[in-house]
Chains A and B, each alone.
Chain A
Amino acid sequence: MAVSAVNLQSLKKSKDLLCIVILALIAILAFISRLLSVVRFESVIHEFDPWFNYRATQYLVNEGFYKFLTWFDQVSWYPLGRVVGGTLYPGIMITSGIIYKVLHFFNFNIDIRHICVFLGPVFAGLTSIATYLLTSEVCTKSAGLFAAAFVAIAPGYISRSVAGSYDNEAISIFLLMITFYFWVKSVKTGSSFLAACTALFYFYMVSAWGGYIFIINLIPLHVFVLLLMGRYSKRLYVAYSTFYVLGTIGSMQIPFVGFQPATTAEHMAALGTFGLLQIVAFASFCRDQLPSESFKTLLKRALIVIFIIGITGFIVLQRLHIIDPWTGRLYSLFDTGYAKKHIPIIASVSEHQPTAWPSFFFDLHILVPMFPVGVYFAFKKLTDENVFIILYSFTAAYFAGVMVRLMLTLTPIVCVTAGICMSYLFDNFLGYKKSKATVVKVEETEEVLSGNESTPESPVSPKINSPKINSPKMTNSPKIHNKLKKSEHNSQKQDNSESPSITFEIKLIVTLSLLLVFCMYVWHCTWVTSNAYSSPSIVLASRNRDGSQHIIDDFREAYYWLRQNSAEDAKIMSWWDYGYQLAGMTNRTTLVDNNTWNNTHIATVGRMLASNEENAYELLRKHDVDYALVMFGGAIGYSGDDINKFLWMIRISENVYPEQVKEENFYNSRGEYRVDDSVSPTLRDSIMFKMSFYRFKDLYPNNQAFDRVRGTTVYSKPIQLTIMDEVYSSENLLVRIYKIKKPDNIGRSLQSAAVFNSGRRRKRNRKSRKYKQQKIDD
């Protein structure tokens, strides 16, 4: 025995070492695979929101923390301005600010931009470690390693964490997983220290991402379901009470969250569960003191009554507007038709669309069918932590189905369950018969060891619990469960010891074919990463005929032009999508940006773009606009341009200005949205159309202008633009900048001035006069 014990010890040690090495390699892999965007393009901040985060981080680093918290940004939302300090989640900025300070303390003079660019990949490495911890907590270490490997390269997560995508989600998936890890662990052990860790990471999560709502509803749901299952325990009480109190106090420290945990409906489930748990705890304490049947039934009824009173009280308070109702974004998750009808600004964002099946497959590949199998295993061994896994899987699957964006929260749990599935599978098919027995033994001893150290769950707690169960109805499940568990243990042992007939040949073939499947997964992930998710979207890439890469850098080109050539206090009007980029790169004042806090202001900008020149000019003057900027993809086939987004702009402004803007006017007589000669007159007169197609025709000889996005010819008559001058169009005509004219100095309207000017020219050339006149009449 002694000899074998030593062997086991050394085996266990080398196993641990191997485990750590593998995990480290996985984390490094997670980091490296996200660098493709830097390799392909350059170290640049991506997309839209990251530009704001970057700008805010710069402000934080330059001006200091306290100034950052009270930052009033005058450059955005002209003329309103924006209270930035109180309306953002500062987690990501503070994280990179701290890293910056620490590195500079050690004299690494690294630029803040590089920290911002590489923050996502670094946290992705940490995420895979956190996933490992969570999975090994609910299953085995090998499952943990599988899960970590899956999550390291799963495209669903890579999409938000490639180098340069400096967004809240980049760090918050790590925080999500680590919070859940500590939660599961604290429920398992009943340690208030671990629960405090949960609360700490929850606080960090609250500071980083609005998705913390998911945590503060999922954990109470877990507690509630455990109570329903009759699995109340002191561990649960300690864990949840500690977590809720500390976590709520912590979350209230974030200015943007403030008193929301006490007043909004999103947080009420947590509060209610907290109250319920106290009552249950009190009741179970009483029952320990007075064991009698009648008390039990009384208790049961009292609990039901309290529950109903709580729910009705909640509804009444909500009706009386003491508790704020759910926000529209959250509400649209449950009533799927809600957003399109009432809040077009939410429905317009492509991230908020429901998810078609190709997206699931694209983001998770072979993990998709493994996901339900993992859930099956969680059901099979129904421990407290597996209940958590089931609830997380279920809710995340639903949310991901409703909103593409929430694929992000689904991805980690899919990796966890797939890891569980794979570890069971390879338990069957890997390893020699001889060594397998020892491995099993090692695992068993391990379980016993760790059980003694930290988890009294399986051997001790059910015995303590079973006499204390609330209702007689519920007593069945844990007992059955215990029996099941024991029998499972036994059968497993038997199976393993017998391990009847899985021959080497079967093992080899199964392992090889699964290896093939995993190779496909890795190829798929690499392909997706390099083709779909590594594009910074501020720099576009296309291929030349010979296959070499052609970089389209129109955005930065145009932004730099503005930076160099406009006055410092110039106000630039564009659709809100480009607000953050404009502010970040040109350092000029914008009217609206991606923080869509003021719907009316956005609708006003939409109205400007949708009105004809006369009305638009009035509005533009009222808002002191100096430059107007539109994206036009017709020349190179960039489909995300403003003409394609225009219908959403119209819908948003129609919601606020139903008199001035009407969607139906922008369709032609056949009810189509066209830009060729059958264009509707209202669309033709709108300045958005004019700004997009102004002189576009001149690029092509004799009326052959072709819009490569819409796939049609364009409106064939020349476009008159009298209220603004074209000052800049980028290389591929992607960005077009117009300068708004000053009012005419002798008080004419700009249109009549333009007519007059062109009329004067008429005198010189009689031939062109007729032509010009015709044009004006049109």
Chain B
Amino acid sequence: MKIINSLKYFIPLFSLFCWNVFALSKKEKSEKIEELLAKSSDNFINLNEKYYDLLINTPRDYHTILLATATNPQFKCEPCRELLPEFLNVANSWDPNDKRVYFAILDYQNGKNVFKQLKIQNVPNILHFRPSDGVVKPDFYDLPRNGLGAEELIQFVIKKTGVEFELQRPTDYTQYIYYGFIVVALIISIKIVIQYFKEIIVNKRSWMILTVSIIFLMISGFMWVHIRHPPNSGVSHGNVEFFISGFQQQYAVESQIILIIYILIAFSFLYLSDKVQKVKNAHLLRITVYVVLAILLVCFSLILRIFFIKSQAYPFKLLF
């Protein structure tokens, strides 16, 4: 009981003491921060371990958005490079004279220990530190889910800090010139193309090739590959596997194999229905018809066989 009683007096004393100490350092600190902020051309603070403690582990009344990254080329961190301009976009959208939020960047080279402290295993990462009297556990921004875009990032910042501000992308006037140039170039090139490739554009055959090949791509599942980005092929029991079992999924290579088979079948149909009329030699005709028919049946059986791999319950097969 005695101890508790004595504590009663001690707490206000202690807090008074603390307040004094921090009040003193506060001014210094903010000056230091301003100095750091002024160092970089954009609205962010380039941190190292020392400044990290100063900015984040001391009592403070501001939010900190920290980008933990590794820009050294030896890490080959592609996302780090892509994320940086987006992060800077968000940082620059914030009014630099407003002291409620600071943006900071910590490179792995400058702060290996900090990375250890925060248990950051992978870069890049964006962390939010809320105002507090000491060390806080940061909130991590979910990069894999939200992507590298500035629009999503700014939502995160707004949510965490509770301050509304809008993303202002720097207007890039060269872009307009660029687009204007492209439009002019396009018009000129269309003019040229029409002049020189009139035959091709007006030609029925070129349109036919275009249409038919796109149709071929669609029916052999390239759209699925384009949307889902499956692995090219898989491995099972140590062997390379070209066909994945299952109806709603496929490897990228499957589409290519299927496309070839479909093209072969389609050509044999085409030969039998159209080209066969033009063959005048009887022997040639006989041989080609048989060859084409054989190709047709083999490819058809092949596709039935492959389909059996996809759907194990499929009961039909032709040659093998």
Contact = CB atoms under 8 A, between A and B. Distances in A.
Interface string A484-513: 000000000001000011110010011001
Given A361-B307, A393-B215, A524-B316, A356 B204 contact: no
Contact of B269 (A362, A369, A380, A664): A369
B307 A502 contact: no
A496 to B, nearest CB: 9
A474 B201 CA distance: 11
B300 A366 contact: yes
Nearest to B317: A520
A153 to B, nearest CB: 15
A512 B262 CA distance: 21
Chain A, interface size category, equals 35 or more
Which of B208, B313, B318 has its CB near the most chain A CB atoms (within 10 A)?
Answer: B208
Nearest to A353: B248
B269 A356 contact: no
Contacts of B204: 379, 382, 477
A610 to B, nearest CB: 17
Given A379-B204, A510-B272, A402 B316 contact: no
Interface in A423-452: 424-425, 427-429
B125 interface: no
A749 interface: no
Contact of B250 (A337, A358, A523): A358
Interface in A365-417: 366, 368-373, 375-377, 379-380, 382, 390, 393-394, 397-398, 400-402
A517 B280 contact: no
Contacts of B215: 371-372, 375, 393-394, 397
A140 interface: no
A523 B314 CA distance: 11
Which of A368, A474, A527 has its CB near the most chain B CB atoms (within 10 A)?
Answer: A368
Given A354-B224, A372-B215, A664-B142, A509 B293 contact: yes
Interface residues of B, number: 65
A311 B205 CA distance: 29
Nearest to A369: B265
A358 B249 CA distance: 9
Given A357-B250, A393-B215, A376 B270 contact: yes
A174 to B, nearest CB: 24
Interface string A97-129: 000000000000000000000000000000000
B16 interface: no
Contacts, number: 173
B208 A379 contact: yes
Contact of A371 (B219, B303, B311): B219
A531 interface: yes
A371 B277 CA distance: 21
B228 A354 contact: yes
B54 interface: no
Contacts of A500: 279-280, 282, 285
B269 A523 contact: no
A473 interface: yes
Contacts of A615: none
B212 A376 contact: yes
Interface of B: 142, 145, 194, 198, 202, 204-205, 207-208, 211-212, 214-224, 226-228, 247-250, 254-255, 258, 262-263, 265-266, 269-270, 272-274, 276-282, 285-286, 289-290, 293, 296-297, 300, 303-304, 307, 310-311, 313, 315-316, 318
13 contacts: A357-B255, A368-B262, A369-B262, A369-B269, A375-B208, A375-B211, A375-B212, A398-B218, A425-B273, A476-B202, A495-B278, A500-B279, A664-B142
Given A362-B311, A379-B212, 16 more contacts: A354-B228, A356-B248, A358-B250, A361-B303, A366-B300, A372-B215, A373-B266, A376-B274, A382-B204, A394-B215, A398-B214, A401-B219, A402-B223, A428-B273, A503-B282, A524-B316
Lowest 3 CB-CB distances: which A-B pairs, in order?
A: A357-B221, A401-B223, A501-B282
